[in-house]
Structure 1
Amino acid sequence: MRPLRHPFRALATLAVASLALPFIAGTAAAQDSAALEALDAQLPGDLVNDPSRIDWQSYGADLEASSVVDESIPGGGAARRFEVKRAAEFIYAAGTNIPLTETVRRGDTVTVGFYARTIEADTEDGNGVLRVRFQRNVEPYPGFGEQTLTIGRDWAWYEVSAQAEQRLRSADSIIAVQFGRTRQAIEIGQAIVVTGADSIAGAGPVAVAAAAYAIPELEMPESLEGTGTLLNDPGQNFWKFGGSAGRFESRHEPEIWMMRATRFSVAEDGTTLTDLAATVPINQRIDEGDELVIAIAARTISAQSEDGRAVAASRIQGTSPPFESFAANRFRIGPQWQLIRIETRAPRGYGAGGAELELYFGGTVQEVDLGPVYVFRKARGE
C-alpha cells in the first residue's frame, strides 16, 4: 500500500447513517469447499488460490476494469476486462493482483496459469502484452519469476512457472499481472496457482476447464437500488492492505451479500487509526461537484471500547500526486451487520482509477468484519 501522504488531522462529520441488514442464509461455503477439493484433486501439485474468483484488486490511473460474463469464456464463463486508456512509461503502472490462499515455501516450484485474450492493442501485431510476477503485496514489493507474455486475439491458456526465491505468505502475497506500458484491452478469465508442479494444463486447458464452476454474481442491497451510477466493483474484496497495527483475513460469511468479508484485527493499544487500512479502488471517473454516496457493510466482532463498538474511518484520496483527499469521516460499528451510508460532494474531478476509498481500523484493540463496499454517483438533480 502507498504510504499515507496526508495525516488524519481532523475527521469531518457528514451524513452517516447505519441500517440493520437482514440475515442471509446460504450453503455456498460447503459447495465452494467441495468444488475446490474436486479441482485440487485433478491438478498436479497443490492448489494455492481460489480459481472461482476473478474479483481481483486492479489499479492504474488510466485503467478501466469491468466484469464480463459469457458462456463462451473458457473456465467458468466469466472474465475481467482491463482497458489501458493511455500507455505509461513502466509496465507496472497498471495491473491486477491474484491473491494466494495458501503459503508458498521458499524453494517450492510455483506455477500460475490463466485464460486470456486481447480485444485490441496498440502494437504492431495487434497482440496484447503483460508481465507476470510472483511477489508480496507490501513495500518494497519483493518478488521473483518475472516473465513477459504476448496475448493473442483468441482465448488461450498461458502459464508461468518459477522456483520460489522467498516465502510467500497467504496473508499478503499475490501473482502480479502488469500491463500498463501498452494501450490495450485484455480479458483474463479463470486463473489457477499451484505449488509442486511446473505445469498445470499438462494434457491441455480443456482438462482444467472441466473442473471450473460459476463466479458469484453481484448483489445489490434493496436500500441502495436506484441510488445512482456504481463507480466501483462491490464484488471485489481483495483490496490493497497496509499498516503495522494488526492483521487482515479474507473470510466466507453467509450472512452478508456475496458471502465474503475481510476481518481486521488489532491486538495492541497505542496504535493510530491509520495503522491498519484497506484501499478500495474507484474504477470510474469522478467529476467536480458530483454527489457521491458511500455504503459500507460492516460489523464489530469485539472492541475494547466503552460501548463495545469498534471505531473506523474513511476518506476518498487521489491515486497520484498531490494525493488530495476529501470526505473524511469517523464512525462506530455495531455488533450486527450494518450498512453505513456516507454522502459527500467531490471538490474536484478525478479520471477513471484516479481516486480510491481508504478505510481505517487501527487505534484500539478490536476486531471488525468488512463486507461489500459500494460507491455511487447520484444522478444530477436528485
Structure 2
Amino acid sequence: MTRARVAAGLSALLLAIVPAASAKELTQEEQDYLAALQAALPGPLMNNPLESPLTTYGEGFSAKMVRDKTVPGGAAYRVSIKQAHPNAWDVSTVGTLTGGISAGEGVSVTFWARAEKTDKSGAGHLTVRLQEATAPYTAVVESQLDISKDWQLYEVKGVSPLTLAAQDMTLAFNFADRKQTLDFGEYFIVNLDAE
C-alpha cells in the first residue's frame, strides 16, 4: 500500500476522533489510530498528528481553519498572503515536533497542501524546512515546491546535519514572497533511521 493511501485511510479515522484530541490523555481510539499510523510508517513519528497545530507568524496575512471534505482529515489551515513580501520567510507557518533527531539520520516530511489562490503563474509556491527553532535556523531538510490547485501529498527527504531535541526544531512553511492563499492539511515527520 502506498504511503498516500495509508495516510488517506488513517486520516478518515482521524477526522472521527479529532474533537477529542485536545484532551491530555489519549482515548483508546486515538491510541489505536496512532499505533496503526506508526505501524504503516517507515520509522518513528517525530510529531503527534492529533496535536500538531500550525501557527503563522509575520505581518500582512490572514489565517483560519476551514472545513474541506476533499482532504484527508476533513479540515485545512488556510493562510492568505495579502501582499507579496521581500522574503519568503517574512510570513512563516510553523508546526511543532515531539521527537528529536541525531546527525546522520534520515528524515521525511510529508504533508497535504493545495493552492487555493495563486499569482499569475497558476501554482502556489513555498519553501518547506525542518529547521532549528532559533537563529541561525539551520535546515535539517529544505526544499522549494510548486503547489498544485488540487490537494496533493508532498514529501521532502534528507539527512540531518545536526543533532536536535524536539523543542529545538520546528517545521516551517515559508511563502510570503508571493500574493497567494495556501491550504495545509495534516503533516507527518518521520525519522527514517531511528529504532
TM value normalised by structure 2 = 0.81
- Paired residue for 1:97? 94
Pair 1:155-2:151 in alignment: yes
Structure 1 counterpart of 2:130, from 127, 134, 137:
134
Is contact 2:123-2:146 (8 Å) kept? yes
Give the alignment partner of residue 81 of structure 1, picking from 78, 81, 84. Answer: 78
Q: Determine if contact 1:135/1:143 at 8 Å carries over to the other structure.
A: yes
Give the counterpart letter for 2:44 in structure 1. D
Q: Which amino acid aligns with 1:158?
A: Y
Q: 1:171 to 1:130 in 2, by over 3 A?
A: same
Q: 1:26 to 1:196 in 2, by over 3 A?
A: closer
SS of 1:33's equivalent in the other structure is helix
Task: Provide the residue aligned with 1:188 in structure 2.
Answer: 184
Q: Label 1:133 to 1:26 Cα distance change in 2 as closer, same or farther (>3 A).
A: closer
Q: Does 1:44 align with 2:57?
A: no
Superposed, 1:187-206 pairs within 5 Å as 187-196=183-192
Q: Equivalents in 1 of 2:169, 2:85: separation in Å? A: 25
Read off the aligned partner of 2:69 and give its amino acid letter: E
Distance 2:129 2:25 in 1: 35
Number of equivalences: 171
Structure with larger Rg: 1
Q: 2:26, 2:50 → 1: CA distance?
A: 12
For residues 139 and 26 of structure 1, what CA distance do their matches in structure 2 show? Answer: 31
CA RMSD in angstroms comes to 1.8
Partner of 1:329: none
Which amino acid in structure 2 is aligned with residue 101 of structure 1? T
Distance 1:167 1:108 in 2: 9
CA shift for structure 1 position 162 = 0.8
Aligned to 1:52, the other structure's residue is in SS state helix
Match of 1:189, SS state, is strand
Gap regions ≥5 residues in structure 1 = 1-24, 198-382
Cα distance in structure 2, aligned partners of 1:27 and 1:100: 18
CA 1:141–1:27 in 2, change beyond 3 Å: closer, same or farther? Answer: closer
* Counterpart mapping for 1:1-382 below 5 A: 28-74=26-72, 76-124=73-121, 126-196=122-192
Counterpart CA distance in 2 for 1:170 and 1:145 is 15
Distance 1:58 1:94 in 2: 7
Residue 29 of structure 1 and its aligned partner are, at CA, apart by 4.6
Deviation of 1:53 after TM superposition, in Å, equals 3.8
Aligned-residue offset at 1:34: 3.0
Q: Distance in 1 between matches of 2:120 and 2:169?
A: 31
Q: Distance in 1 between matches of 2:186 and 2:24?
A: 24
Query: What residue is the counterpart of 2:20 in the other structure?
Result: none
**In 2, are the aligned partners of 1:52 and 1:190 still within 8 Å (CA)?**
no
Q: Is this contact kept in 2: 1:53–1:190, CA < 8 A?
A: no
